[in-house]
Homo-oligomer: A and B are copies of this chain.
Amino acid sequence: MTFSLHPDFDGGSAFVADLKLSQVRLHLDARFPWLILIPRVDAVRDLDDLDADHRAMLMDEIVRASAAVRALGEAWGRPVEKTNVAALGNVTPQLHVHVIGRRADDEAWPKPVWGQGAPRAYDASRRLQSLETLRRALAPSS
């Protein structure tokens, strides 16, 4: 399958890993442990544009991403209390799924995160450590 990443993802997120279906990216807002899954299938915008096999793979990868987001919360000393999972894509038309770790003391709680306050940049060392934590959590158990 051909695939190219929409340019909207370039500045605001960092590559984490390629799973079987999706590219996993870290959304660069250090207020929340926040992953984005982008199925590597061209020209799909909505969940129901994916065929059944790809949908099943995506659900598995959402669960893996949820575990990685929980691991990142632990690494930050702020365990995730709730996950938010959403395929919105009104602005960026390439199908992508947000997997976000939430806590009752986070800056947007209990609202959804979109449009709440300003993103906070990662400093270099926190970004590097976070990517390592996520890659370890996403690695296939062997």
Contacts and interface: CB of A to CB of B under 8 A. Distances in A.
Interface of A: 45-48, 52, 55-56, 58-60, 62-63, 66-67, 82-91, 102, 109-112, 114-115
A44 B37 CA distance: 23
A140 B82 CA distance: 33
A63 B90 contact: no
Q: Is the interface of A mostly helix, strand, loop or mixed?
A: mixed
A84 to B, nearest CB: 5
Given A84-B89, A88-B112, 15 more contacts: A45-B82, A47-B62, A47-B63, A48-B62, A48-B66, A48-B67, A82-B90, A83-B87, A84-B88, A86-B86, A86-B87, A86-B112, A90-B109, A111-B115, A112-B114
17 contacts: A46-B66, A46-B83, A47-B63, A47-B66, A47-B85, A48-B63, A48-B83, A55-B63, A58-B59, A59-B59, A83-B87, A84-B86, A84-B89, A86-B86, A86-B88, A86-B112, A90-B112
Contact of A59 (B55, B66, B115): B55
A87 B84 contact: yes
